[in-house]
């Protein structure tokens, strides 16, 4: 009986320790460069607005609002959102989705949702440096749109 208990204890410890070992699949992902948290800067006011957590879903890049900045309530809801986002909390809301890797530092063919006006735009992102991400939202052609720089949170 003691031997069985020791075996179960050993298996439990191995399982617990394996939870802290880095996931090679994530580290080997072609999207690994952009995964993590990024601070958004309002392109009109120049003020920090939110923290976006970028993650991977089925090989595509997605992002959700992780935190609101500038004294905004973390319970703030979306006033202009439509459809499934109407009245939902901003924190936790997915606003970036479906981006596919195009080149070493660029992802395209995604969408970005602007909770300020309730509109969805085509999106592409470019990793300008290890800590700077250029996010471009547009309708139709990418040269007719708006860009923001996001900065990696360390």
Domain boundaries, the chain: 23-152
- What pLDDT is recorded for position 45? 87
Q: How many Å apart are CA 131 and CA 154, to the nearest integer?
A: 9
Asked if residues 34 and 138 have their Cβ atoms less than 8 Å apart, the reply is: no
Fold entry, domain 23-152: Lipocalin (2.40.128)
State the pTM of this model.
Answer: 0.79
Q: What stretches of the chain show up as alpha helix (H) in DSSP?
A: 2-18, 24-27
Q: How many Å apart are CA 10 and CA 153, to the nearest integer?
A: 38
Residue 80 — pLDDT band, cuts 50, 70, 90? very high
* Position 4 pLDDT exceeds 70: no
DSSP structure class, residue 141: S
DSSP structure class, residue 78: -
Candidates 52, 57, 126, 139; CA nearest to 95 is: 52
DSSP structure class, residue 77: B
* Position 41 pLDDT exceeds 80: yes
Q: How many Å apart are CA 32 and CA 107, to the nearest integer?
A: 12
The arithmetic mean of pLDDT across residues 113-136, rounded, is 96
- What pLDDT is recorded for position 73? 92
Least confident of 24-28, 91-95, 134-138: 24-28
Asked if residues 10 and 18 have their Cβ atoms less than 8 Å apart, the reply is: no
Q: How many Å apart are CA 5 and CA 2, to the nearest integer?
A: 5
* Position 44 pLDDT exceeds 90: no
């Amino acid at each position: 009986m003691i031997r069985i208990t020791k075996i179960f204890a050993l298996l439990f410890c191995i399982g617990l320790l394996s939870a802290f070992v880095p996931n090679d699949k994530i580290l080997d992902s072609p999207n690994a460069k952009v995964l993590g948290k990024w601070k958004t800067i309002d392109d009109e006011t120049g003020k920090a607005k939110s923290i976006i957590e970028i993650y991977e879903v089925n090989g595509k890049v997605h992002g959700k609002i992780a935190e609101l900045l500038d004294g905004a309530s973390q319970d703030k809801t979306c006033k202009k959102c439509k459809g499934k986002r109407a009245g939902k909390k901003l924190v936790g809301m997915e606003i970036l989705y479906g981006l596919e890797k195009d080149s070493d530092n660029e992802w395209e063919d995604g969408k970005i949702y602007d909770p300020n006006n309730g509109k969805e735009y085509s999106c592409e992102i470019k990793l300008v440096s290890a800590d700077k991400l250029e996010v471009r939202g547009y309708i139709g052609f990418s040269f007719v749109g708006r860009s923001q720089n996001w900065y990696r949170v360390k």
